[in-house]
Structure 1
């Protein structure tokens, strides 16, 4: 699994992060949907943080898909559409604005972890499955983004939850860290002065 080292995902000043608009506001529609409507392969549409797959055609159309050639089949990765349903459920439970902020926070943290470590086996397994059906001209960025998506949404579920966020920002965050360690980081507990999750816990980027 390659290291992309995308600078835009680096740890950023929380004052500039709070309430920040989702990183991507426009992107290509599913090329198969566009062709079905005789609109050609490339149609740019307004997009939101949960608009990452086409459930009708099983394509990744989220982050990294600058052109139709970047759209990946996710047929070999049932965990991605399952995560998408989980993502939509979080929006229903926590409302859209709170979920958007949590998703962007989680996205920044997860990409920072990837830039630092890029070794979590679950993400690597998803990447390998996607690579089997990768279009010849597709770039690596959408494959990495799709591979990280389950971890981003899992972290967003905790960040968006008032219950878990309160624990995370308390003087006793062990239960929160245990949840992250169990569900995302494979037993590793995020620590260290420069860890992005620790930065969020101590500074609360959403305030």
Structure 2
């Protein structure tokens, strides 16, 4: 009988080791798997590379993970916001690396990993600092930048409901990066608000 559910946070996160690359879902705090992040802090792993839409808000979720000293590098689209003081302090002190990726490119690179693509050409970022050192090409009269997939060891995502087979449904905007991150990681760990019986999820919404 297939049963992908876990009885505790520690069991769910037990495979994560130092140096792992982890995709963390959420758009700001919307859809961010805060309980999984708390469990990651308790696990005590270090030197993590975190891929997310932003670099944390306040002292919550991803910012809390940064404050715990668990993160070596952040790959994100929005590292600076009004309440991103934890990341700001660490970055200015040289304690964390940063790779800024335009939001569309971030989604595209994660999606490319999930689809097994070697690389993709995108017009976003051409002619800017973000394209420095990257291959460029003119295709049908338009300039493009070559971007490589972002594949991860783990994805931590939050969903509304799930079943023991690992099928998930999301609630409104909390869906954001969840589905593509699940495709791009070797192991996906989902935090859900409700576990339902098999057949309890509309297959059109999974």
TM over 0.5: no
| TM-score with structure 1 setting the length | 0.27
| TM-score with structure 2 setting the length | 0.27
- Tell me which protein shows more strand as a share of its residues: 2
